[in-house]
Structure 1
Amino acid sequence: MEGTRLQKVGRLIQKELGEILQREGASIVPGKMLTVTQVRVSPDLSIARVYISIFPSNDSDKSIELIKNHTKFLRGELGKRVRHQLRVIPELSFFIDDSLDYIERIDNLLKE
Structure 2
Amino acid sequence: MAKNKFHDGPGPTQRQLRVGELIRRTLSDVLARGDLHDADLSRMSITVGEVRVSPDLRVATAYVLPLGGEGQDSVVRLLADNKNELRRAVAKQLALKFAPDLRFRLDKTFDQMDETRRLLNQEAVRRDLEK
When the two structures are superposed, what TM-score results if normalisation uses the length of structure 2?
A: 0.71
1:4-23 correspondence runs (5 A): 4-23=14-33
Q: In structure 2, do the counterparts of structure 1 residues 30 and 20 end up closer, same or farther at CA, with 3 Å as the change threshold? A: closer
Tell me if structure 2 keeps the 8 A contact 1:28–1:67: no
Give the percent of matched residue pairs that are identical in Structure 1 and Structure 2: 29
Bigger Rg, which one: 2
Q: Which residue of 1 aligns with 2:102?
A: 92
**Secondary structure of the equivalent of 1:45?**
coil
Separation in 2, partners of 1:18, 1:31? 14
The structure that is strand-richer by fraction is 1
Superposed CA deviations along residues 67-105 of structure 1, whole A, max 9, x for unmatched, are 1101111111111111xx211110000001032244346
Stretches of structure 1 that go unaligned for 5 or more consecutive residues are none
Tell me if structure 1 keeps the 8 A contact 2:65–2:106: yes
**Secondary structure of the equivalent of 2:55?**
coil
Is 1:66 the counterpart of 2:103? The answer is no
- Which fold has the larger relative contact order, with Cα–Cα distance below 8 Å and residues 6 or more apart in sequence? 1
Quote the RMSD (CA, aligned, Å).
2.4
From 49, 53, 62, the equivalent of 1:37 is: 49
The count of aligned residue pairs is: 109
Is 1:53 the counterpart of 2:65? The answer is yes
Separation in 2, partners of 1:49, 1:99? 15
Q: Measure how far apart 1:56 and its partner are.
A: 2.6
Give the letter for the 1:36 counterpart: V
User: Bigger shift: 59-68 or 12-21?
Assistant: 59-68
Q: Which residue of 2 aligns with 1:77?
A: 89
**Secondary structure of the equivalent of 1:29?**
helix
When the two structures are superposed, what TM-score results if normalisation uses the length of structure 1?
A: 0.82
